[in-house]
A and B are shown apart, each in its own frame.
Chain A
Amino acid sequence: DIQLTQSPSFLSASVGDRVTITCRASQGISSYLVWYQQKPGKAPNLLIYGASTLQSGVPSRFSGSGSGTEFTLTISSLQPEDFATYYCQQLHTYPRTFGQGTKLEIK
Chain B
Amino acid sequence: QLQLQESGPGLVKPSETLSLTCTVSGDSISNTFYYWGWIRQPPGKGLEWIGNIYHSGSTYYNPSLKSRVTISIDTSKNQFSLKLSSVTAADTAVYYCGGEHYYRSKNYYQIYGMDVWGQGTTVTVSS
Contact = CB atoms under 8 A, between A and B. Distances in A.
B96 to A, nearest CB: 6
Interface of A: 1, 32, 34, 36, 38, 42-46, 49-50, 55, 87, 89, 91, 94-101
Contact of A44 (B37, B63, B111, B114): B114
Given A46-B112, A91-B111, A95-B63, 17 more contacts: A32-B111, A34-B112, A34-B114, A36-B114, A42-B119, A43-B98, A43-B118, A43-B120, A46-B115, A49-B111, A50-B110, A50-B112, A55-B112, A94-B52, A96-B52, A101-B46, A101-B47
B60 to A, nearest CB: 4
A99 B46 CA distance: 8
B113 interface: yes
B62 A95 contact: yes
Contacts of B111: 32, 49, 91
A55 to B, nearest CB: 7
A49 B120 contact: no
Given A50-B110, A94-B60, A95-B60, A55 B48 contact: no
A32 B37 CA distance: 17
A36 B96 CA distance: 14
B106 to A, nearest CB: 20
Nearest 6 Cβ contacts at the A-B interface = A34-B113, A43-B117, A96-B49, A94-B60, A101-B46, A49-B112
B61 interface: yes
